[in-house]
Structure 1
Amino acid sequence: MEMALVTGVSKGLGYEISNALVERGTEVIGLSRSTNEKVQDLITKGHYSHFPVDLTHVEEIEPLIRRLCQQVVARKPQRLYVVNNAGMVEPIERLGFLDNSLIRRAIHLNLLAPMLINNTLLKELRAEAIELVIVNVTSGAAERPIYGWNVYNATKAAINMHTEVAGIEQENVKGSHKIVAFNPGIMDTDMQGTIRNADEEAFTDIDQFLSFKTNGSLRQPDRIAKALVDLILNENLINGKVYSVNELL
């Protein structure tokens, strides 16, 4: 039996990943700030349980993950998939114009939350015969600077390095755990809508992102989710590798 823990399940890629796993019979634990029709749909299908949590409130993460680990241990799965999908592109603004509270919020969600989740899982499940497969959702923005995306660029670059170092550590101990990152590319999600509505002075590349929508360049998140699920279920993952959806489709 296999289980999965997915963050940001109430919309976009997080919902589609959870749905794809549920349809394959995997028991999914979903985390998001709120419930909605998509979450109710997952609950109705079965093999799904939901925990509302705001992952920007980082003080809540460790106690929650510890409780979830107790549930996982009780179910005795052979493998636990973990998809750190929750993230935000805001604030889109130039350094010197940013709101410091929004910087903290984005760093908490994009970087600190997945690091705390991963660390707590590895710590709490250390003595258990459960293989962890951890996927940190990243972005092409981790590898190239984008005007106005100081915070998003920095957090995604940090997630890539977190993944690569954790991969080296797992290889060094010759354990069974796998830790990778996944770049989903550009998708037709609410995040793209946020980008297209950014202020032109704060984000000079806005015309390019507007064109992604008008010329049909945005992939549907269900297609991206299928590629990721096929990858983690069927492929021999390389620890620390940053996978790109462009390599899989």
Structure 2
Amino acid sequence: MASTSHLTILTGASRGMGLAMAEQLLDAGHELLCISRKTNDALTARAQARGLRLEQWPQDLARPDAAAAKLETWLAAHGEGDLAGVTLINNAGVIPTIAPVGDIAAADLSQALRVGLEAPMLLTGAFLRATVAWKCQRKVLNISSGLGRRAMASQAAYCAAKAGMDHFTRCVALEEEQRGRHGAKVCSLAPGVIDTDMQVQLRSADPDRFPDVGNFQGMKSRGMLTSPAEAAARVLAFLAREDFGANAVADVRG
């Protein structure tokens, strides 16, 4: 009988859509490794109740080299075993001070790019190296944003990180195509507009420094935001599609 077990590695799993994805992956029976700044006790209890293996690393992704090295070592020790599939979901991201780029401290800009772009690049490289000989299905899902495809004032770091993630994913997709049927399937996916702490940040910004603040306030007042649980379900349904990876850059609403 073919194995149905799956291993998913998920960053930014302690809150928001990341937490909702972690909960739904556990409910679906996945073995889970979560990499976040903080661990979540409720996730641990959920996994224990289902008899599933869950590991949570309290890892600062502003140190992506350390996180990537740890992941590569962990995957090598874990081995493929009888897995039917292994997936990396790069979900973590941060918005620095919402202001014109000249008003943002260099350290804040650096952190946003390390967490939002450098970490996904390094973790993807570690994941692909560690699993290159595995015969099971391999996938990389990078959580992008519409702001990676549309410029916005006072969002330079976030927009740049997501645009970089999109183009990075295009490059990796071309590389993995060269491996034929052994290549990983990769996609950079915009998940829609989600009612998370990040949206609270945007709605609460100073209008004098963030000219688009009214648009975000309007989306909230008109009920246009998706709940984290609903967004997670849509993203995971997209991940499960037979044609996942057919387009390296996609939007869950498309």
Residue 67 of structure 1, CA deviation: 2.8
Taking the TM superposition and a 5 Å limit, the aligned residue runs for 1:1-249 are 1-45=5-49, 46-47=51-52, 48-73=54-79, 75-174=81-180, 175-247=182-254
Q: Which stretch shifts more, 45-54 or 221-230?
A: 45-54
Given that residues 31 and 53 in structure 1 are in contact (C-alpha distance below 8 angstroms), is that contact kept between their aligned partners in structure 2? Answer: yes
Distance 1:72 1:228, change over 3 A: farther
Q: Against the structure 1 CA distance between its residues 75 and 197, is the aligned structure 2 distance closer, same or farther, given a 3 Å change threshold?
A: farther
**Distance 1:237-1:209 versus aligned 2 partners, 3 A rule:** same
- Deviation string 1:13-37 (CA, Å, 9 cap, x unpaired) is 1111111111111111111111234
| CA deviation map 1:139-161 (0-9, x unaligned) | 00011110100111111000000
SS in structure 2 at match of 1:181: strand
Mark the CA change 1:61 to 1:37 in structure 2 (over 3 Å): closer, same or farther.
Answer: closer
In the comparison of the two structures, how many residue pairs are matched?
247
Once the 2 structures are TM-superposed, how far is the Cα of residue 71 of structure 1 from its aligned partner? 4.3
Distance in 1 between the 2:217 and 2:41 partners?
A: 28
Structure 1 residue matching 2:240: 3-state secondary structure: helix
Cα-to-partner distance string for 1:92-114 (whole Å, 9 max, x where unaligned): 21021111000110010000000
Q: 1:193 to 1:95 in 2, by over 3 A?
A: same
Q: How far off its partner does 1:196 sit?
A: 1.2
Structure 1 spans left out of the alignment, 5+ residues: none
Q: Partners of 1:42 and 1:147 in 2: how far apart? A: 41
Q: Distance in 1 between matches of 2:41 and 2:199?
A: 21
Q: Which moved more, 1:216-225 or 1:109-118?
A: 216-225
The amino acid across from 2:63 in the alignment is H
Normalising by structure 1, report the TM-score: 0.93
TM-score w.r.t. length of structure 2: 0.91
Q: Percent identity?
A: 26
Matched-pair contact (CA < 8 Å) for 2:65–2:122: no
For 2:81 and 2:208, locate their aligned partners in 1 and report how far apart those are by CA, in whole Å.
Answer: 52
Conserved? CA contact 2:88–2:127, under 8 Å: no
What code does the residue aligned with 1:156 have? Answer: K
Query: Distance between the aligned counterparts of 1:13 and 1:240, measured in 2?
Result: 23
Query: Does the CA contact (< 8 Å) of 2:23 and 2:43 recur in 1?
Result: no
What are structure 2's unaligned runs of at least 5 residues?
A: none
Query: Which segment drifts farther, 60-69 or 191-200?
Result: 60-69
Structure 1 stretches of 4+ with a deviation exceeding 4 A read none
| Distance in 2 (alpha carbons) for counterparts of 1:139 and 1:40 | 29
Question: Following TM superposition, by how much is the alpha carbon of 1:41 offset from its aligned partner in structure 2, in angstroms?
Answer: 4.3
